[in-house]
């Protein structure tokens, strides 16, 4: 049973192979993560999304990919996340 409110996902250790678990415990297909659309009700599938294009690391932030060195982003926090 797939409940819209995610109650069927509570107390599950993890999602099935090929799926990713949202912060609210909902499972979505791995390919939906970091695709620029909120597939998790809480939008967690779009948190901490990074890509590497033309020797530049970009992070998905406020609806678009931005250079991690832009002034409005916390570059040290992002670097720590990437290197951990």
| Residue 2 is assigned to a structural domain of this protein | no
Question: How many domains does the structure of the chain reveal?
Answer: 2
Segment 5-26 shows an average pLDDT of: 80
Is 54 part of any domain?
A: yes
Domain hosting 60: range is: 50-83
Residue 24: give its domain's CATH number: 4.10.400.10
Residues 26 and 57 in one domain: no
Which pTM does this prediction carry? Answer: 0.55
What pLDDT score was predicted for residue 49?
Answer: 86
Q: For residue 11, what pLDDT band results from cuts at 50, 70 and 90?
A: low
* β-strand partners of 20: 28
Residues 17 and 36 in one domain: yes
3-state secondary structure 8-24: HHCCCCCCCCCEEECCC
Same domain for 42 and 59? Answer: no
In this structure, are 56 and 35 located in the same domain?
no
Task: Give tens-digit pLDDT for 39-51.
Answer: 999 889 988 888 8
């Amino acid at each position: 049973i797939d409940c819209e409110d995610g109650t069927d996902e509570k107390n599950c250790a993890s999602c099935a192979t090929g799926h990713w678990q949202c912060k609210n415990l909902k499972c979505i297909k791995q390919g939906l993560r970091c695709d620029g659309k909120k597939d998790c009700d809480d939008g967690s599938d779009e948190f901490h999304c990074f890509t590497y294009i033309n020797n530049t690391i970009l992070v998905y932030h406020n609806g678009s990919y931005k250079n991690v060195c832009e002034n409005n982003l916390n570059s040290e926090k992002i670097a720590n996340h990437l290197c951990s």
